[in-house]
Amino acid sequence: MKIWQSDEELFELTRTELFTAVVGYVMDKFGLQTQFLPPQVRPLSANMVTIGRAMTVLEGDVYDE
């Protein structure tokens, strides 16, 4: 297994060595079955990929009187 020293190296390694099916399979095995965007969300062109960290948030309307 390759070791990375920076986020740039990690993202390059991930982009070149992994693909969606592998990531999905591993996440399913960990019980994380609602982690992907719907298939309708697509890149603008076929040569684009999206990778990175994400932070989930809970959003709600707040009204102050």
Query: Mean of the pLDDT values across residues 13-28?
Result: 83
**pTM across the whole model:** 0.47
pLDDT digits (tens, 9 = 90+) for 44-65: 888 887 777 777 788 888 877 7
Would you list the domain boundaries of the chain? 1-65
pLDDT at 62: 82
Longest dimension (CA), the chain: 57
pLDDT at 11: 83
Is residue 51 within 8 Å of 14, Cβ to Cβ? yes
Question: Cα(17)–Cα(34) distance, rounded to whole angstroms?
Answer: 23
Long-range contacts of range 30-34, CB-CB < 8 Å, 24 or more positions apart? none
Tokens found for residue 33: 């079955």
| CA dihedral (44, 39, 30, 60) positive or negative | positive
